[in-house]
Amino acid sequence: MTNNQLRLTLAAATMGWALDAFDFTLFLFAIPQLTGNFNFGTGFAGFILTCTLVCSAFGGLLFGVLADKLGRAKMLSVTILIYSAASLGSATAQNEWQLLIWRCLLGIGMGGEWATGATLVAETWPAEKRNKALALMQSGWAIGFIASALLSLYVLPLLGWRYLFAFGALPALATFWIRAKIDEPMEWQIHHARTAHVAPKDARSLLDSMTLQLGALFDPRWRRAFLVATAMVACVMFGVWGFFTWLPSFLATPIEKGGAGLSFFKSVNWTIALQSGAFVGYVSFGWVADFLGRKRAYALYVVMAAILAPVFVHQATSGANLILIGPLIGLFGHGHFSALSPMLSEIFPVHIRATAQSTIYNTGRGVSAAAPWLIGAMAERYGFSGPLIAASGFFIASAVLATLLPGPSSQEQPSS
């Protein structure tokens, strides 16, 4: 690929991930209005988030297989269309159950986007630049989160949550650009040309193909890597979804109810500061990984996140302290995600790479889906501080599991 094609591919994957974050995190800022409008508590809000993540696990499994069979760029466009339509549908919800259904559909599209975009970048960028390229792609989450925070700051007080979710349909426009500009990776095209005669022709053959693809992950050559990586991702995601999902609500909740007692305006601004640190964390990880190695860099980031999370919770009522701690917890608490695709893409061969990455990432996400509900339910009874600190302990478990991951596959290396 030419340098221009490489940049376009990276831009498409980064855009998809940013828009994914944009649509998902709009809900986090709308929670106070939604609970008042539909008369449910943080426990049910957490349940909606949990269901969204469970559905994202299913979507990830589905689109990981489809990306291996039908193409990475094509499925990237499809997943963006799905979560954009679901955000628009969320704006029409007349009760909490309709809202739940639309957020579940959003989860399906959200789950497929990461694996298709990350695999697209991993297979197009040369090995010596892959760390930095995937780190830049991962930074899209912080960009999308900041965009949703800024939009919420102005739309929620003036127009309300329905208009906020309606803006979530805008990412659909990106699909026209992606389909026009982005080609499938050459490595996938070569493999697809060799296997086109066995491509699924109907729903039954597609189901059989999916079963074979998923079954290949338990081949003795890949089984240990698959199980360890899945446990590692599940632990880090439990920490992330348990801790960061509730931070906007924690910051805006009165102190007497277990929160930080900040105004909505201040809570959104501190969320932006935290996500600005996350952006630096995503981007910096590629350079740190080149210096320390991916596993050591990953362990450093998640251990620092575990140390800083309790400090952030205890200092949340002090704006002066948050100036320093907020961006740091964002940096270390999110930057480690830039390690996942480079580590996973080198463990598995091309014919199951998207399936493996998507299955690991989204099974981990599915297992960790209990975190938002659990933290929300506990916050109703005990306030946010204790549950948020407990969730951060899962970062340590993930660091330990990272040391058990095998090295790059000796069966088939990713192309450079």
Q: What is the pLDDT of residue 203?
A: 58
CB atoms within 10 A of CB 408: 14
Dist CA 61 CA 214 (whole Å): 9
More confident residue, 399 or 342: 399
Confidence of residue 94 (pLDDT cuts 50, 70, 90): very high
CB < 8 Å & 24+ apart, contacts of 74-78: 74/179, 74/184, 75/112, 75/116, 76/12, 76/13, 76/16, 76/113, 76/116, 76/117, 76/120, 76/178, 76/182, 77/175, 77/178, 77/179, 78/109, 78/112
Confidence of residue 264 (pLDDT cuts 50, 70, 90): low
Residue 97: its H or E element:
helix 96-124
Q: Which residues contact 206 (CB under 8 A, 6 or more apart)?
A: 69, 200
More confident residue, 261 or 416: 261
Does residue 120 contact residue 73 with C-beta atoms inside 8 Å?
yes
pLDDT of 102 over the 90 cut: yes
Q: Which residues contact 369 (CB under 8 A, 6 or more apart)?
A: 49, 50, 51, 52, 53, 54, 56, 57, 241
Q: What is the pLDDT of residue 219?
A: 74
pLDDT of 129 over the 50 cut: yes
Q: Which of 16-25, 47-56, 187-196 has the lowest mean pLDDT?
A: 187-196
pLDDT in tens, 357-390: 777 877 887 788 788 788 777 877 777 777 788 8
DSSP letter for each residue of 116-157: HHHHHHHHHS-HHHHHHHHHHHHTHHHHHHHHHHHHHHHHHH
pLDDT of 290 over the 70 cut: yes
CB atoms within 10 A of CB 322: 22
Confidence of residue 159 (pLDDT cuts 50, 70, 90): very high
Mean confidence (pLDDT) of the chain = 80
CA triple 66-71-75, angle to 5 deg: 65
Q: Token pair of 88, please?
A: 């628009």
Does residue 63 contact residue 75 with C-beta atoms inside 8 Å?
yes
More confident residue, 119 or 93: 93
Q: What is the DSSP letter of 7?
A: H
pLDDT of 412 over the 70 cut: no
Dist CA 392 CA 343 (whole Å): 23
CB atoms within 10 A of CB 315: 16
Question: Using CB atoms within 10 A of its CB, is residue 128 exposed (0-12), middle (13-18) or buried (19+)?
Answer: exposed
For residue 270, give the 3-state DSSP assignment: helix
pLDDT in tens, 312-348: 877 766 555 667 788 888 899 888 888 877 777 777 7
pLDDT (average), residues 266-290? 81
More confident residue, 204 or 395: 395
- CATH number for the domain whose boundaries are 3-402: 1.20.1250.20
Q: What is the pLDDT of residue 301?
A: 93
pLDDT of 103 over the 90 cut: yes
φ, ψ for residue 62, nearest 5 deg:
-60, -50
Dist CA 12 CA 177 (whole Å): 8
| Winning range, highest mean pLDDT, from 4-8, 18-22, 144-148, 281-285 | 144-148
| Winning range, highest mean pLDDT, from 49-63, 210-224, 228-242 | 228-242
Q: What is the pLDDT of residue 262?
A: 65
Confidence of residue 410 (pLDDT cuts 50, 70, 90): very low
pLDDT (average), residues 121-137? 77
For residue 310, give the 3-state DSSP assignment: helix
pLDDT of 304 over the 90 cut: yes
Q: What is the pLDDT of residue 100?
A: 94
Of 108, 354, 83, give the one whose Cα is nearest residue 214: 354
pLDDT of 22 over the 80 cut: yes
Distances (CA, A) of 168 to 18, 127, 187: 12, 35, 34
pLDDT (average), residues 28-51? 86
More confident residue, 390 or 90: 90
Of 307, 369, 365, 372, give the one whose Cα is nearest residue 337: 365
Alpha helix ranges (H) inside 173-222: 174-181, 186-195, 203-216
pLDDT in tens, 179-203: 677 777 776 677 666 665 555 555 5
pLDDT of 293 over the 70 cut: yes
